[in-house]
Amino acid sequence: KTGSPIGGASSTCANCHSGGAFAPTISIDVKDAAMNSVTSYIPGNTYTIEYIVSAGAGTPSGYGFQGVALNASNGAAGSLVTALTSNTQIVTFGGVDYLEHQGISTGGVFQSTWTAPAAGSGAVSIYGRGLAANGTGGTSGDATSASVVLGLTEVVPTTISYPGTPYCANDTDPTPVQIGEQGGTFSAPAGVSINTTTGVIDISNSSEGTYQ
Q: What is the mean pLDDT of residues 48-70?
A: 97
Of 4-13, 35-44, 158-167, the range with the lowest mean pLDDT is 4-13
Distance, CA of 59 to CA of 24 (rounded, Å): 10
Tell me the one-letter amino acid at 200. Answer: V
- Give the confidence band of 182 by pLDDT, cuts at 50, 70, 90: confident
What confidence score (pLDDT) does residue 167 get?
94
8 pLDDT higher than 80:
no
**Burial degree of 192 (CB within 10 A; 0-12, 13-18, 19+):** middle
pTM assigned to the model: 0.78
Contact at 8 Å (CB) between 156 and 136? no
Measured distance CA(131)–CA(141) in Å, rounded: 11
CB atoms within 10 A of CB 114: 26
Left if phi > 0, otherwise alpha if psi is -120 to 50, otherwise beta: which for 11?
beta
Cβ atoms < 10 Å from Cβ of 153: 12
| Alpha-carbon span 74 to 84, nearest angstrom | 25
CA distance 20 to 136: 12
Mean pLDDT of 169-180: 92
What pLDDT was estimated at residue 142? 96
- Is the per-residue pLDDT at 124 higher than 80? yes
Query: Quick one: pLDDT at residue 32?
Result: 97
pLDDT interval class at 178 (50, 70, 90): very high
Half-sphere exposure of 191 toward its Cβ, with a 13 Å CA cutoff? 7
Q: How many DSSP H helices and E strands does the chain contain? A: 0, 14
| pLDDT of 82 | 97
pLDDT bucket at 212, cuts 50 / 70 / 90:
confident
pLDDT of res. 157: 79
Task: Answer yes or no: is pLDDT of 161 > 90.
Answer: yes
For residue 158, what pLDDT is reported?
A: 85
Q: What is the mean pLDDT of residues 162-173?
A: 92
